[in-house]
């Protein structure tokens, strides 16, 4: 639909990004996206169910894993169904208010996830460097407080992002680069001074994701120093083995995040397909990877998943 070239008094709407020339393949793209989304939902729901019903997993690390699963479910559900609606029903237009709400959830949930990953790094640090104090330091109450602090931190830092965009006029192209709303993507479409949004957005990312990444690296430097002081290689490998799943989860979150940031800042001349793919990778890869990583690395989760599959097969055979 055409948009006016002058600023509207009423809030504008936006068009979700799509890959030019592949309009006929939207149904197949939706099937692929829906399959990945269902895999993410199934995997994270399985993690929540298994940790809830398995007393041996009622430890801080797996409580944090449940927080990650809940965040991934919320993040993927706040974006993927709207994209599927676009692909299946050609509802490409998204209202300004809905776009700002979706933007808030995407950035806030990402910040909460980053904080939870930092909390998991702290858990690994205490467990390896101060094992005798682990149970006393990371109690159930402390774990819950860390979860509440992660939510409060995410809301506090990223609620201003949509509020800063609220008064801006939009009089240029309103076609988004992604199939969902991100702050920098929407901000670039404004026809007014966006310096406050640019400065605040960069500051928020550095103070949340950037600081978390530095602290996670610092925790692993301290962990490696502690591990190297162990007597035998067997003990060292066993200690590091407890960190492998967390390291993989951190990489599954930060690598797509960094990739998307690089595309935004330096990839303005890239094909639209790169922006679309990187956006979907950022939303879905962590949500799919996290339950798989911990499913592979945790024997109790493996056993419970196999038991669930076995029970399902027995019922289907009757």
Answer yes or no: is pLDDT of 151 > 80: yes
pLDDT recorded at residue 38 = 95
pLDDT recorded at residue 312 = 56
pLDDT recorded at residue 141 = 92
CA distance 226 to 128: 7
Q: Are 126 and 138 in contact (CB under 8 A)?
A: yes
Domains, the chain, in order of start with CATH, read: 13-317 (1.20.1070.10)
How do residues 251-271 score in pLDDT, each as one tens digit? Answer: 999 999 998 888 877 777 777
The DSSP result for 72-83, as a single string, is HHHHHHTTHHHH
CA distance 48 to 57: 11
Q: What percent of the chain has pLDDT over 70?
A: 92
Highest mean pLDDT among 138-152, 229-243, 298-312: 138-152
Helix (H) or strand (E) holding 139: none
Q: Which residue has the higher pLDDT, 255 or 235?
A: 255
Any bridge partners for residue 13, and if so which?
A: 95
pLDDT band of 2, cuts 50, 70, 90? very low
pLDDT recorded at residue 5 = 45
pLDDT band of 10, cuts 50, 70, 90? very low
Highest mean pLDDT among 170-184, 204-218, 240-254: 204-218
Q: Which residue has the higher pLDDT, 171 or 117?
A: 117
Measured at the CA of 261, the angle between CA 260 and CA 264, to 5 degrees, comes to: 85
**Mean pLDDT across the stretch 171-185?**
85
pLDDT recorded at residue 299 = 77
Answer yes or no: is pLDDT of 238 > 70: yes
**Mean pLDDT across the stretch 227-253?**
88
Phi-psi region of 193 (alpha: psi -120 to 50; beta: other; left: phi over 0): beta
pLDDT band of 119, cuts 50, 70, 90? very high
pLDDT band of 54, cuts 50, 70, 90? confident
Answer yes or no: is pLDDT of 232 > 50: yes
pLDDT recorded at residue 230 = 82
CA distance 104 to 283: 14
Q: What percent of the chain has pLDDT over 90?
A: 50
**Mean pLDDT across the stretch 64-72?**
95
**Which residues are CB-neighbours of 16 under 8 A, at least 6 positions away?**
82, 83, 86, 92, 93, 94, 176, 178, 179, 180
pLDDT band of 311, cuts 50, 70, 90? low
**Mean pLDDT across the stretch 16-35?**
82
pLDDT recorded at residue 310 = 64
pLDDT recorded at residue 255 = 93
pLDDT recorded at residue 115 = 97
CA distance 73 to 81: 12
Exposed, middle or buried, 247 (CB in 10 Å: 0-12/13-18/19+)? middle
């Amino acid at each position: 639909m055409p948009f006016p070239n002058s600023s509207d008094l009423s809030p504008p709407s936006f068009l979700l990004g799509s890959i030019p020339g592949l309009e006929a393949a939207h149904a197949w793209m939706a099937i692929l996206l829906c399959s990945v989304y269902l895999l993410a939902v199934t995997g994270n729901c399985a993690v929540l169910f298994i940790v809830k019903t398995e007393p041996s997993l009622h430890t801080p690390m797996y409580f944090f894993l449940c927080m990650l699963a809940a965040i991934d479910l919320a993040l993927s559900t706040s974006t993927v169904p709207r994209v599927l609606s676009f692909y299946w029903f050609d509802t490409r237009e998204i209202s300004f208010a809905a776009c700002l709400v979706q933007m808030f959830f995407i950035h806030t949930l990402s910040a909460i996830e980053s904080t939870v990953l930092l909390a998991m790094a702290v858990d690994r640090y205490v467990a390896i460097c101060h094992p005798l104090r682990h149970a006393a330091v990371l109690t159930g109450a402390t774990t819950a407080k860390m979860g509440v602090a992660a939510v409060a931190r995410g809301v506090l830092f990223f609620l201003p992002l949509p509020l800063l965009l609220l008064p801006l006029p939009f009089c240029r192209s309103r076609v988004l680069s992604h199939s969902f709303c991100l702050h920098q993507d929407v901000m670039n479409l404004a026809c007014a001074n966006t310096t406050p949004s640019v400065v605040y957005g960069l500051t928020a990312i550095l103070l949340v994701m950037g600081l978390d990444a530095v602290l996670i690296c610092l925790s692993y430097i301290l962990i490696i120093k502690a591990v190297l002081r162990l007597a035998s290689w067997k003990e060292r490998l066993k200690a590091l083995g407890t960190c492998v799943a967390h390291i993989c989860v951190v990489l599954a979150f930060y690598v797509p995040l960094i990739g998307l940031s690089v595309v935004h800042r330096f990839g303005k001349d890239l094909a639209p397909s790169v922006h679309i793919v990187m956006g979907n990778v950022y939303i879905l890869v962590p949500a799919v990877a996290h339950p798989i990583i911990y499913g592979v690395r945790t024997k109790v989760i493996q056993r419970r998943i196999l038991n669930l599959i076995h029970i399902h097969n027995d019922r289907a055979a009757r």
